[in-house]
Amino acid sequence: MPPNTNFVVKSTLGINPIASRAKGGTLSTGLWLEERKKTDGAEGYWRIHDGIYDLTEFVHKHPGGSEWLTLTKGTDITEAFEVHHLSDFPKDMLKKFFVRQAKTKRNMPFTFEDDGFYRTLRREVQPILKSLPKQSYNNTNFFTDSLLVLTFVLSILAVKMWSFGMGMLAGLFLGMLTVAGHNYFHMKDNIRMYYFQFSTLLVRDWRISHALSHHLYTNTIIDLEIIMFEPILQYLPIKKTPLKKALSVLSAPIVWATLFHSSLIRTWIHMSRKTFKFTDLSWLILPIVIYLFGRKSFLDTFVMWNFIIACGSTYLGFVGLNAGHHHPEVFHDGDTPRSEKYDWGLGQLDALMDRKEVTGSHFLVLTNFGDHALHHFFPTLDHGQLEHLYPTFKNVLKRFNVNLRMVSQIDTIKGSFQQLVRDKANSCPPDLKKYPLEEKEY
């Protein structure tokens, strides 16, 4: 049978698609990285802008952990390098690893000019980073550890009391713990990033699909968090029949509820491909503890655990896919872009909205993908520290005559479903003067 290509859109940003996507195939995180090597012109090394660098000797010295460099060898890491390093030291150190100039043009349209939006914002933020209060980070740790304890205690009680109401509450806290755990896997290797895996989701897969794909190439044809839901959820502006629109809308809640269960397939794939790591099984700790302390049969424990992770998955899916990236007024590849080549930071503002109800609350920001724009700009910073950057962020927005679009949570939910049925590309770039961030929201 011929491949299903009806969900593939031609990039209006000029990005060459991943080969499997161009053929209508499905993509795993590993395959996404492998096929990036064919389009990135990194020549088996690491590409940053138009330079080729051999970081082999530096891999195990990398302060953020060796995995980031091991995963990306043979690819263009320009966006990751720019966004994950907030000081100028890595740029200066990079010179000694230079091999030669790249032979091909970059596949990405994004720029990082010194006088552009992103580098200006990063430069203005640098002095503030030295004085960020440690208490914000400590509070994040307290919230996250508390969510961990509550998840385990309520899960045990749900089995022991055989209460699906208690199980639903445990699932809610598991969902919030998973979102909070995501705060840590953007950072250098740490123990709390593995809290994320009690959901059954794998940190090393999400470091690819979320940190190295979605965060850097948001809403483009190589954003894995769009690709991996196709053709069930079709967020890009392509031709859609009424039946496909209806099925996409009806399927969304099912996708939310099954995200955690579907992740178990990834563990099996890693085992079959001999890429399995012992830490991949850390999710088993939760059902084992429930079984040991819940004092119910294996079958009862298995049923309740599945119910808990389904509830947690629904929370993560609902919050994550309605966090402001999918809305008819947000840029999706296929729409008319701001320009053929444009600043990465402005590209991020085009591809997201922030939510009024979440901003301003440390706990809600941590558990609801809050302060979303600043998190995309500075993903390695703790979520609790982002609020201290708003005054500087506001000044840079004014300087470039743009706004961060702030909408209600209801707007993002409605917009997400509207985007699923949108089949016409926007002929004009997003209006960044609409839905301005109000003074009180700083």
Type of residue numbered 318 = F
pLDDT one-digit tens code per residue, 291-316: 999 999 999 999 999 999 999 999 99
Residues 215 and 299: their CA atoms lie apart, in Å, by 40
Packing angle, helices 285-294 and 134-160, rounded to 10: 50
- Residue 39 dihedral angles phi and psi, to the nearest 5°: -115, -10
Give percent of the chain with pLDDT exceeding 90: 78
Identify the band that residue 21 occupies on the pLDDT scale cut at 50, 70 and 90: low
CA–CA gap between residue 143 and residue 366 (Å, rounded): 9
Q: How confident is the model at residue 277 (pLDDT cuts 50, 70, 90)?
A: confident
pLDDT at 428 over 50: yes
Categorise residue 84: left if φ over 0, alpha if ψ from -120 to 50, beta otherwise: alpha
Q: Is residue 7 predicted with pLDDT exceeding 90?
A: no
Q: Are 168 and 416 in contact (CB under 8 A)?
A: no
Average pLDDT, the chain: 91
Q: Report pLDDT for 8.
A: 54
pLDDT number for residue 26: 57
Mean pLDDT computed over 115-122: 96
Residue 2, pLDDT score? 35
In order of start, what are the domains of the chain with their CATH numbers? 19-114 (3.10.120.10), 115-442 (no CATH)
**Residue 327, pLDDT score:** 96
Contact 93, 39 (CB under 8 A): no
pLDDT above 60 for 5: no
pLDDT for res 18: 80
CB 124 within 8 A of CB 395: yes
Band of residue 280 on the pLDDT scale cut at 50, 70, 90: confident
Higher-scoring residue by pLDDT: 2, 23: 23
Residue with tokens 């950057």, as numbered in its chain: 389
- Please name which of 226, 211, 184 lies closest in space to residue 333, comparing C-alpha atoms: 226
Cis before 231? omega within 30: yes
Task: Give CA angle at 374 (372, 375), nearest 5°.
Answer: 60
pLDDT of residue 6: 45
- Which of 287, 219, 221, 229 lies closest to 256 in space, CA to CA? 229
At residue 262, does pLDDT exceed 90? no
- Which of the pair, 279 or 372, is modelled with greater confidence? 372
pLDDT score recorded for residue 31: 85
pLDDT reading at 273 higher than 70: no
Identity of the amino acid at 303: V
Q: Which of 83-92, 266-275, 353-362 has the highest mean pLDDT?
A: 353-362
pLDDT confidence bin for 90, thresholds 50/70/90: confident
**pLDDT at 281 exceeding the cut of 50:** yes
Using the predicted structure, report yes or no on whether residue 440 has a pLDDT greater than 80. no
- pLDDT for residue 1 is more than 70: no
Q: How confident is the model at residue 233 (pLDDT cuts 50, 70, 90)?
A: very high
Q: What is the residue-wise DSSP string for 47-79? A: EETTEEE--GGGGGG-TT-THHHHHHTTSB-HH
**Share of residues in the chain with pLDDT > 70 (%):** 93
pLDDT in tens, 193-231: 999 999 999 998 999 999 999 999 999 999 999 988 988
